[in-house]
Structure 1
Amino acid sequence: MAWLEALWGIGFGLALGICGVFCLVEAARIFGQIAMIGDAPEMDVRSVLQGNASGIVKLAGVVKKGRFTATAPCSGTECIAHRTTVKYFSEWNSPRWRTVTKQVGKSDFMLTDGTGEIEVSAGKLGDSGVSPTAEETYDTPADREVVSERMRTLLTRDDGEPYETVQMTSRDLRVQERRLEPGDKTTVLGKVQQQYDGARFDCIQLGSVSRRGAWMLAAKGVFLGLFGAFLVSVVWFVSVPRFISLLPV
């Protein structure tokens, strides 16, 4: 049945086209984020509190503890934010340390720069925007039964089972823990929200983006843009011809 095959082709092409649109939207968001990071003016806290900030701005200062903190899973350190990466050593093909899982924790905090102090909210801060600079590396056993409760949670999948790659390794795991602690200096990128009880800074980027991180972000945007354009083109080359074939001659 030619008409059934044509309908299947139309549906298949449209499904890929919709996925392509989502990829293009995400690529646009990434390039917008890159532009904001590069173009955002740097201001002091006093100017922000006085209402002189418009749009996305950058603040730099010293971190102070807020009402709550995050707990780094390996060291157990109470901190403002952390990015923890668990790696195992793979001896297959090109021997190297490969990532098993990642965990990002963040909390609201206060930022002071000598001209004033402002509350920084992490509510709109995505995991990719957390970039603490201080880093420590630990070795930990791969056996979940002998590690701390915090690490046991990190080494357990959502279904409650251990990661297969962790089970297969005969070496200790390597944990890279990057933390932002009270007293550390940092930069934040975001937008000021004026509230009845004062100003609040909605953070979208915590810490500076490294050159490598910026290149990786740009590469991700380019890939999603090209892949999205390819998927959208499927609508023209697959769905449209099959739709035309269904029209009466």
Structure 2
Amino acid sequence: MAPPRRTTTSMAIEGLGSSGDIMSGGSWSHRLVRPMVRPLVGTGVTPNHLTTLRLVTGLGACAALMVGSALWNGWGGILWILSLLLDYADGELARIGKMATPGGHRYDYVVDNLVTSLFFVAIGVGLRQSVLGEWTVLLGVLAGVSVYLCGVLAEALDRRLPAGDKALSGAFGFNPEDVLYLAAPLAWCDWLLPLLVGAAVGAPVAMAVIGLNLLRHRKSVTTDPSLPGVIVGAAKRQG
């Protein structure tokens, strides 16, 4: 008899233990938010609540940065730091509270991609009165779209890698996305233009590298007829 079909939902549940911030919680950011999150376990607060706060504060940071003034850049930096910490807090609450779900993981993924992408667009809009003029808007869109596609491609690549491996891995207690913390002090110091130019150059390069890695892994994956619509490589890494 053919083995039972592995659905996308069941694979997502099994894979949550190896996805990003739910994997081990060993980064410095996880250690920072853990004492704040632990009292929330059993109170009715869910990871999705924190993800929603992450969305609200992230959009607030974007709105502030679009103004383009020193005062609003200051508030934008503060809201951005808070949003990044909430991004870790939702995963940490899911991990220690055993509340990880495929839906929650998907919500977190969509919010992360959306907020981070809009952040660079907002910087570009806010810098339209700088020496580069309206070109900063185009640079912001280029950086934002590239960052969004980096997230999409990295997620697709993660599903094809062995359990525990990541398309973008960190080191020494830092995750790749921790570089975004630097945006806050750069906003406070009025140094957002170099950040924008760097992102407009670096993000497309990163997107291309991840995309090439994804193509390389897709060529090595076959489909098992007994598991319709499910990639064998993803199924094998669970067993």
TM-score range for the pair, normalised by the shorter chain length: under 0.3
Structure with bigger gyration radius: 1
Highest RCO, 1 vs 2 (Cα 8 Å, sep ≥ 6): 1
Higher helix share: 2
As a proportion of its length, which structure holds more strand?
Answer: 1
**What is the TM-score when the length of structure 2 is the normalising length?**
0.25
TM-score, reference length from structure 1: 0.24
